[in-house]
Amino acid sequence: MLIACGCTNVTPFEKKESNIEFWSRAIDPSADKETLLNLYNAGLICLKNNSPIIIDKSMNFWKSFKSALDNNRRGIDGKIRILSIIAENFRYNDLCEKLQVSPNTINSACKYARLNGPGAIAIDKSNVTMSSYKVDSKTNLPILYLQD
């Protein structure tokens, strides 16, 4: 298909070394092929899909975040608040698998993040207003009204 579009294969190594291919649509692809060959010979082209450095960093992140969840002192509310920091950025399955938390906890963390902001302190959003000028005649306390 790429050949039909006018592209030329400029991969600097053989197919048995990696399935990754490089293609060029330039009129003269020799410069592209030479550049890729120089990068390949210098070891700057990574042929493996998963770099061990990236995997280590990823596992380090998940271990650290799980430790933060496990060591919090505020119970389930603290876990939901901590989890709300990343809940919107990852899939449910990833969070369940890596952090060993239930989907209900993740759902609560997503709701918490939408209402209060990721990792923010829960805001008391009362739905009652106090009248500043009317008082109850028996108790002499301000009258409370429900907000719309």
Count of domains for the chain: 2
pLDDT score of 1? 76
With b for 16 or more beta-carbon neighbours within 10 A and e for fewer, the 32-60 pattern comes to bbeebeeebeeeebeeeeeeeeeeeeeee
**Distance (Å, rounded) from C-alpha 140 to C-alpha 94?**
56
Print the domain residue range for 16.
Answer: 1-49
Do residue 82 and residue 120 come from a single domain? yes
- From 28, 49, 70, the end of a domain falls on 49
* Helix 52-70 / helix 75-83 crossing angle, nearest 10 deg: 150
pLDDT tens string 46-57? 766 655 555 677
Residues 33 and 55 in one domain: no
Do 64 and 33 lie in a common domain? no
- 60 with 42, same domain? no
**What value does the mean pLDDT of the chain take?**
81
What average pLDDT does the segment 40-44 reach? 79
pLDDT score for 129: 66
